[in-house]
Structure 1
Amino acid sequence: MPVFRLAMHPASEGDALMLSWGEEDALHRALIDLGRTKNYRALKPLLQTIGTFELFAISHIDADHIEGAVPLFAEPALPFTARNVWFNAYSQLVDARERLRDAETLGVDQAEKVTAGIKASGWPWNSQFASRIVSTGSPEAAAPLTFAGGLKLTLLSPTDQELTRLLPTWERALAEAHLRKEDKEPVELAETEGREILGSLNVEALAARQFSGDGTRPNGSSIAFIAEFDQKRVLMAADSHADVIEAALERLGHSAENPLRLDCLKVSHHGSKANTSPAVLSLIDCTRFAFSTDGSHHGHPDAETIARILKHDPGRRKTLIFNFRQPSTEQWDDENLRTRWHYDCLFPEAGKEGIEFEL
């Protein structure tokens, strides 16, 4: 009996995600991001047990997605093997800019920890793209990319334009994520910023707040895709911008009248109010929504995002899936709200962090 699962491992406020597909006794796996340093170290024994991944995708250079890759590539012996690596480094950004200019591409070697680690690993890096750019602007992205065991990935983000926009701030983004070669070991963030825990959640009022899209350049460069296996689909949105996902879905022929059927949306940017727009929700047919965050640093998921999801589809039964029970998620585990808005909450088992579920 084929299985298709998504695991959201504990990754602080970030992502350490694993897709598993195939027969139970012969599963294939993809790893997407590695959270922070402490998250990688906690996950390392499992990675060693698995041994081989069909894909290791590093979605973008925000620390809560990529920081764990720094100690990974510092290991004297890597704990696993990846048959494919997806990551856009500085050279990919430059080549995307030159492709937009319709000029000869330039190879630029920006020395930083993850790029150097990927090169040293010998793992095939962006090899499924002739340009070596993981972008919807690459011809290979016009059709689903296939992986061993029958998984298909349809790339939705980034565009060449979004990669190019990151160029002027690449060095600053590297410094903020402690990814330059001269940077010391990343320091764990412990503070909480911007948390808004509401005593009484008014879904109507929250959903009515005006949507204002994310403009941060690293998030715009996120690798986001639809993963499909055995007629089931999950949209892995990383920290992607809503307008980029909206445009990609429309290019695929989806509309409010012909929405994309999904078995799960792994919600963009940990449920930030700036990354899941009403327009995106109108382009998908989905009743399960997954959020990866412990709520630290930014207090995600934002209440507006969940309210938009509930208000968009008030009649059908929905499921909100969380990999941490924390104030920003626990506030939704309210019987009156669940009854009024027809949804259930799925949390990790008592005393545990992280969650795995069937798609």
Structure 2
Amino acid sequence: MFKLHVIQAEFGDSMLIEYGSRQSPKYFLIDGGPSDVYDNFLRSELENIVGASGTLDVVAITHVDIDHIKGILDFLAELKSQSDNGKEHFLKVKDLWMNTFSGTIDNDGAMTKRINTIFSNAASNNVNMASTGIAINGIKEGNKVTTLCNVLQIPINTPTVQSIFRVGSPNAALTYGNLTITIVGPTKENLEALKTEWEEWITARENEMGAGNFNILSMSDKSIPNLSSIAFLIEGNGRSMLFTGDGRGDHLTEGLKKKGLLNNGRMHVEVLKVAHHGSDRNTNRTFFENITADTYVISANGKHSNPDYATLSWIIESANEAGRQINLVVTNDTASTKRIVNDYNPAEFGYSITFISNIKNSIEI
């Protein structure tokens, strides 16, 4: 058995893999969505699918952005509350995967201190740096997850080298029951480049503050670098699923290449979780021409215009020109999905599009 339950996560991500045998199923949770997703959707799905006193073999947080980590934090907080009240955990967790900011690019904590100083000085000068605030919150939430795991005695990053998931750490594919999991991102080079980006971003903001250019500080807020996502290929029962987090298409392609998974620069999987909620800033048409799938999963609700119309058109056009019939599974019907169906007739262009029902909390693939 190898199923994917795509959970309603609003503008974030949350997915549950069900594998093993029907008589003895196993579970792998990927991300938990933003605030309220745990209470409104995820918790009930965990109870319905995993069942009371069940076990999650892995809880994977692809990266520490709020729209991926908050639901996991809420889940762990509930487990701690149950412990504090002498109750048995309603679910058990064997291992948690997460690349923290400190563990990957800020080993001595110096960057975090400098970012906090920038944010505080901006606030003191009435400059709203919302994106920086979100990044700081994500870093803090990652630290909270680590603390809760330590209290709950949940191991973190057990299969890795130096507690970091990246290509080469672990080097060999992982085996979980009938599944084989290969880490395809980030690469060591991605993390080194990300560290350089953060250093440059911090230094530039410090220079702006030093010169008193607080208007420029506000304008440059949205340029803040994103933490590289853990990306992995899962194979089992003759099927394959590629999970991308919020990774960039070129980074994902390079990771797949390093692991020897490309054939003449191309790869086909049964299911592709489209990166960054279908944002056109993370990929391009060439990516979808080279990395193809039967089913494309997009978790988005229209916030930040996700999924972008361009991304949907690249997927549909590249598949149609190659003569491939595809399925789009999108968690919510948005302005861009309505427009794409109007502009690209599904019958003519050879695709179907499915959304999570209003009366359900997930859709099964």
Do both share a fold (TM > 0.5)? yes
* Equivalent residue in structure 1 for 2:27, among 14, 29, 35: 29
What's the offset of the Cα at 1:84? Answer: 1.7
Secondary structure of the corresponding residue to residue 65 of structure 1:
helix
**What residue number does 1:277 align with?**
284
**What residue number does 1:302 align with?**
308
What's the offset of the Cα at 1:36? Answer: 1.5
Task: Give the stretch that moved more between structures: 260-269 or 20-29.
Answer: 20-29
Secondary structure of the corresponding residue to residue 68 of structure 1:
helix
8 Å contact kept, 2:184–2:259? no
Larger of the two Rg values belongs to structure: 2
Secondary structure of the corresponding residue to residue 282 of structure 1:
helix
**What residue number does 1:189 align with?**
none
* Equivalent residue in structure 2 for 1:67, among 51, 65, 70: 70
**What residue number does 2:255 align with?**
248
8 Å contact kept, 2:186–2:255? no
Q: Which amino acid aligns with 1:348?
A: I
**What residue number does 2:346 align with?**
338
Matches within 5 A, 1:180-219: 217-219=225-227
Closer/same/farther in 2, CA of residues 217 and 154 from structure 1, 3 Å limit? farther
8 Å contact kept, 1:70–1:114? yes
Q: Which amino acid aligns with 2:68?
A: H
Closer/same/farther in 2, CA of residues 44 and 236 from structure 1, 3 Å limit? same
Closer/same/farther in 2, CA of residues 113 and 313 from structure 1, 3 Å limit? same
> C-alpha deviations, 1:55-96, integer Å up to 9, x for none?
100111111101223322322125422212110124421488
Segments of 5+ residues of structure 1 without an aligned counterpart are 98-108, 174-213
Closer/same/farther in 2, CA of residues 232 and 215 from structure 1, 3 Å limit? farther
Query: Are 1:232 and 2:234 matched, yes or no?
Result: no
8 Å contact kept, 2:244–2:273? yes
* Equivalent residue in structure 2 for 1:113, among 132, 135, 144: 144
Segments of 5+ residues of structure 2 without an aligned counterpart are 83-88, 109-138, 203-221
Distance of 2:154 and 2:38 partners within structure 1 = 19
**What residue number does 2:37 align with?**
39
Query: Are 1:93 and 2:104 matched, yes or no?
Result: yes
Q: Which amino acid aligns with 1:153?
A: I
Bigger helix share:
2
Q: Which amino acid aligns with 2:59?
A: F
8 Å contact kept, 2:250–2:283? no
Q: Which amino acid aligns with 1:278?
A: R
What's the offset of the Cα at 1:23? Answer: 2.0
* Equivalent residue in structure 2 for 1:56, among 15, 40, 59: 59
Task: Give the stretch that moved more between structures: 322-331 or 32-41.
Answer: 322-331
What's the offset of the Cα at 1:126? Answer: 0.5
What's the offset of the Cα at 1:48? Answer: 4.4
Distance of 1:74 and 1:169 partners within structure 2 = 30
Secondary structure of the corresponding residue to residue 118 of structure 1:
helix
8 Å contact kept, 1:226–1:235? yes
**What residue number does 2:163 align with?**
132
Secondary structure of the corresponding residue to residue 128 of structure 1:
coil
> C-alpha deviations, 1:319-344, integer Å up to 9, x for none?
11111223332333449621332111
Distance of 1:334 and 1:88 partners within structure 2 = 41
Closer/same/farther in 2, CA of residues 137 and 351 from structure 1, 3 Å limit? same
Closer/same/farther in 2, CA of residues 168 and 68 from structure 1, 3 Å limit? farther
8 Å contact kept, 2:45–2:362? no
Q: Which amino acid aligns with 1:26?
A: S
Matches within 5 A, 1:344-355: 344-349=352-357, 351-355=359-363
**What residue number does 1:312 align with?**
318
Give the count of matched residue pairs. Answer: 298
Q: Which amino acid aligns with 1:133?
A: I
TM-score normalized with structure 1 length: 0.74
Closer/same/farther in 2, CA of residues 41 and 344 from structure 1, 3 Å limit? same
Task: Give the stretch that moved more between structures: 64-73 or 314-323.
Answer: 64-73
Secondary structure of the corresponding residue to residue 112 of structure 1:
helix
Q: Which amino acid aligns with 1:82?
A: V
Q: Which amino acid aligns with 1:70?
A: L
8 Å contact kept, 1:254–1:283? no
Closer/same/farther in 2, CA of residues 23 and 280 from structure 1, 3 Å limit? same
Closer/same/farther in 2, CA of residues 329 and 355 from structure 1, 3 Å limit? farther
TM-score normalized with structure 2 length: 0.73
What's the offset of the Cα at 1:24? Answer: 2.1
Task: Give the stretch that moved more between structures: 231-240 or 255-264.
Answer: 255-264
Distance of 2:275 and 2:223 partners within structure 1 = 14
> C-alpha deviations, 1:258-299, integer Å up to 9, x for none?
632200111000100022333432332422111111222x12
8 Å contact kept, 1:96–1:133? no
What's the offset of the Cα at 1:215? Answer: 8.0
Cα RMSD, aligned residues only: 3.0
Secondary structure of the corresponding residue to residue 263 of structure 1:
strand
8 Å contact kept, 1:93–1:167? no
8 Å contact kept, 1:134–1:223? yes
